[in-house]
Copies of this chain bind each other. A is one copy, B any other.
Amino acid sequence: MARVTLEDVARAVGVSAATVSRYVNDPGRVREALRDPIQRAIDELAYVPHGGARSLASRRSRMIGAVFPSLQTSLFGGALDALQNEIAAAGYTVVVASSGYDPARETVQVQTLLANGVDALMLVGGAREPGVHRLIERKGVPCVITWVSHADAPFPCIGFDNARAARDVAGHLVDLGHRRFGVISGHLEHNDRAGARLAGVRDALADRGVALDAAGVVCASFGVEEGREAFRRLMSRDPRPTAVICGAEPFAYGALFEAAEAGLSVPRDVSITGFDDMWLAAQITPALTTVRTPRARMGALAGRHLLAVLAGEEPAAPLALPYEFIVRQSSGPPPGG
């Protein structure tokens, strides 16, 4: 089937292609009396503009690229969904890529997206291979960084204060009387969220004079199985921790399962906290004390922000989004406390 072009529509109506183009992009720019016939011709011929040609001529692709660390989990899915919904109304589409938490792959993804001419970019976190940010900047592509909120980031951040949230969690446990802690964290190398959370925990403990030695922190890849193993490792210490802070929710689930299997009662024998408040957190027994992160909100706001920038408007000043610290049943006073 031969493609229907602007030209075809123009011929059908008896105007020039330029006029039809103007109508398509901003109906207000053509005479009232022309609008209806043009629209009818478009419908009749089932004309759909050629995105490539459009992007070539206008230097805009109406695509927004998003790179997530993973899509295997619903963590980022919610943000992606929200982003997509937010920008769809404006005629934009999301081109998505997932890096598998691998910086090298992320670099390639960004390059590919840039090559594909995305008009804007959404990334997660601020830690990546050197030069990537510069590459984006040089391309002049608006970019927004989610999930974190650094003051010193190269791009606007639409995220939340990971460190402070983690501090809340740790503070809560110290207040309950805990003094011996274990922490299960994501790998720190390429993940500033994990880094910030661990730093937050460290801060909170240091503030109150509680020590956290190296062996008290286990880094692992995100996963329930990994959480189980890390928990086992932490609980084999002597003396063992009375509270285990998890930097991501799968760790907490793993810890909870492992505790149950080991016959440990939570929170009587050990307190366990999560981070993210995914759906299971409220359902599992004991319900998980955790931090509800504004995932959908980040996706939506990132979209709105980028659209604003693309429209030449002054976007709302990005700020740290609120999170919610939720105390449930998995945290309580330490044994004998």
Contacts and interface: CB of A to CB of B under 8 A. Distances in A.
A139 interface: yes
A43 to B, nearest CB: 12
A49 interface: yes
B51 A61 contact: yes
Interface stretch (A67-75, A164-172, A202-210): A67-75
A216 interface: no
A52 B56 CA distance: 5
Nearest to A66: B96
A115 B283 contact: no
Contacts of A50: 56, 115, 117
A145 B48 CA distance: 23
A119 to B, nearest CB: 11
A81 B77 contact: no
Most chain B CB atoms below 10 A, which of A49, A54, A55, A116 = A116
A16 interface: no
Interface stretch (A28-36, A87-95, A265-273, A315-323): A87-95
Chain A interface SS verdict (over half): helix
Contact of A279 (B53, B81, B88, B224): B224
Interface stretch (A106-114, A190-198, A234-242, A305-313): A106-114
Given A1-B139, A95-B94, A95-B95, A115 B49 contact: yes
Contacts of A49: 115
Nearest to A228: B283
Most chain B CB atoms below 10 A, which of A93, A98, A139 = A93
A140 interface: yes
A139 B48 CA distance: 11
B81 A51 contact: no
A253 interface: yes
A37 to B, nearest CB: 21
A333 interface: no
Contacts of A97: 84, 88, 93-94
Contacts of A95: 63, 93-96
Most chain B CB atoms below 10 A, which of A51, A61, A80, A140 = A51
A254 to B, nearest CB: 8
Contacts of A100: 81
A98 B87 CA distance: 12
Given A48-B115, A115-B51, A138 B283 contact: no
Given A71-B81, A93-B113, 11 more contacts: A49-B115, A50-B56, A50-B115, A51-B52, A51-B117, A52-B52, A71-B80, A73-B74, A73-B77, A95-B96, A253-B283
14 contacts: A52-B52, A52-B61, A53-B56, A71-B81, A72-B77, A73-B74, A77-B77, A80-B98, A81-B100, A93-B113, A93-B116, A224-B280, A224-B283, A253-B283
